[in-house]
Amino acid sequence: MRYFITPALLIALKDLYSEWRTRQVVVTMLIFSALVIVTFSFAFDPTRQAVEALIPGMIWVITVFAGILGLNRSFLSEQKQDQLHGMIVAPADPASIYLGKVIANYVFVFVVQAISIPLLLILFDFQVPGDYGWFLLILFLGTFGFICVGTLLSAVSIQSKSSEMLLPVLLFPLVTPIVIAAVEATRIVLAQDASISEAFSWMQLIVVYDLVFFVAGFLLFEYVLEV
């Protein structure tokens, strides 16, 4: 634990502090998600009926695309001066580097979601019916699964010279279950006649996915990190 939780938190805090200093990644992600919202409203005429069908998909398109921007940077910032090598020789479990990065990446995406999703709802004049709790839970579970796989694959793709191109190609096919399940669950929760029980099976699927890939990331990260 001593060589696991502490380094993980240190790395996460280091990333958050660095981001606080520069505000490069999150600001870019925010601008990007605002552009996605605007582009969507041009591409699909946001009339009353269409909105309800559109919102769940848009929420996850914003999360996934803005998330990829952040994931691309996540390990690139550790490569300039081989800082990642510094972490490998440090007395820290390789999985703690993974955990730290997952936490930091999750927080970045969370900040983007916290600003862009309310903005989306306001611009499309959409009222969330009923309980916010389930919606937020689905948002958390889906994003977590996406970040788990994304962080692992980001560490894979930075070892290529064309990492920005490689990451989406690696990541999208693997996150299809998350995209399908999260969009469906969000659709059910945000429907006017929402019946939560229908979303449960989707949420179970997301939880299984989260667990499988969090554990996989944990176990496989040391192999990705080797020099």
Partner 1 sequence: MIETNGLSKTIGEKTIVRPINVSFQGAETVAILGPNGAGKSTFLNMIAGLIKPTSGLISFHGNALKKDDYTLKEKIGFLSHQSFLYDYFTPIENLIFFGRMYKVENVRERAKQLIDEVGLKLFQNEPVRSFSRGMLQRLAIARALIHNPEYLLLDEPHTGLDQQAVSILNEVIKARQKEGVTVLMVTHDFQQVTDTCTRALIMRNGRLVDDLSISELGQDTLDSRYQAVVKSS
Partner 2 sequence: MDNKNSIFRFLIPSKGYNILFYLAIPIVIMALYLTFIWSPVERTMGEVQKIFYFHVGSAWNAFFAFFVVLVFSILYLVKRKRIYDIIAGVSAEIGVVFTAIVLATGPIWAHSAWNTWWTWEPRLTTTLILFFIYIAYIMIRNMEGEWQKKARLASVFGIIGFINVPIVFMAVRWWETNLHPVVLGDGNEQSGGGLEPSMLFTLLFTVATMTLVYFLFLRKGIYIEQLRLETSKLKAKWQEKEINREAS
Binding interface with partner 1 (CB under 8 A): 2-3, 6-7, 10, 14, 17-18, 21-22, 77, 80-83, 85-94, 222, 226-227
Instruction: For residue 188, give both structure tokens.
Output: 């059910």
86 binds, among partner 2, partner 1, none (CB under 5 to 8 A by kind): partner 1
Residue of 16, 174, 194, 196 interacting with partner 2 (CB under 8 A): 174
6 binds, among partner 1, partner 2, none (CB under 5 to 8 A by kind): partner 1
23 CB contacts (<8 Å, ≥6 apart)?
none
- What are the two backbone dihedrals, phi and then psi, of residue 91, each rounded to the nearest 5 degrees? -75, 75
Closest CA to 58 of 82, 38, 87, 83: 38
Nearest distance from residue 42's CB to partner 2, in Å?
A: 26
Residue of 181, 190, 199, 203 interacting with partner 2 (CB under 8 A): 181
Task: Determine, following the binding rule CB under 8 A, whether residue 108 of this chain makes contact with partner 2.
Answer: no
Which region holds residue 115: left if phi is over 0, alpha if psi is between -120 and 50, else beta?
alpha
**Positive/negative CA dihedral, 170, 172, 177, 182:** positive
Identify each DSSP E strand in the chain by its residue range.
Answer: none
Which residues contact partner 2 (rule: CB under 8 A)?
149, 152-153, 156, 159-161, 166, 169-170, 172-174, 176-177, 180-181, 184, 201-202, 205, 208-209, 212-213, 216, 220, 223-224, 226
